[in-house]
Amino acid sequence: MHSIANQDVARNTYFASFHSVMQHDIEIIGEVLHIFILFSDSRTKGWPLVDSPVPTVVYTIIYLIIVWTGPKLMKHRRPFKLTWALIPYNLAMAILNLYISAQLLTSSIRLRYSYICEPCRQSRDPDELQIANAVWWYYVSKLLEFCDTFFFILRKKDQQLTFLHVYHHSTMFSLWWIGIKWVPSGSTFLPAMVNSGIHVLMYSYYGLSALGPSVARYLWWKKYLTILQMVRKSMKLK
């Protein structure tokens, strides 16, 4: 009887301790979530994909699953040409990036933004909101850029699926969610503006090259695009 009573006491003590620890952990999680909400930028509250990190994480996981399984599924299949999809996709991406870079450039000039260091102000000034809106579109463009990888897989361009390519695409979407959540303006504008400007040229080149050898002679400027991309990487502008 004493043994059973001791077991009951031990069990009750264990559950009491477990409940205390869980309650403490829940309180900590609550405090973290409070800080998470408190310090996020109120201007982007309620914007699509912004309030919770879950959609961004889920899309990134789906991307990585496709990267892992896609080449295996295509192993014994013939590659797709996809010219019908590549041309409009690259054209749309070039137009989107042109819009983003133009919005960021015009607003930053009107606001007299510093190109060295500019603090993020939660201002509702129309130009500040225009910058936040453009940064949000830049974040969305990182999701759309997953298609770059999917096209490589479907066309069996496996040599293009390097670690750096997958790492870049899988991390940029998440990093720019952090940007739009907490710092959608200020110095955040500069890498978005520079990269979107380069992406206008990049996607224009990809779209034209998808037309085939007949336009190859008009793509003499590819080497300058490569130089721009190297300069961007050396400046750590993502």
CB 27 within 8 A of CB 33: no
The encoded tokens of residue 10 equal 């031990």
Is 199 catalytic? The answer is no
Active-site option among 24, 165, 168, 199: 168
Block residue for tokens 């969305």: 140
| Residues 6 or more apart in contact with residue 206 via CB below 8 angstroms | 86, 90
Enzyme catalytic residues: 168
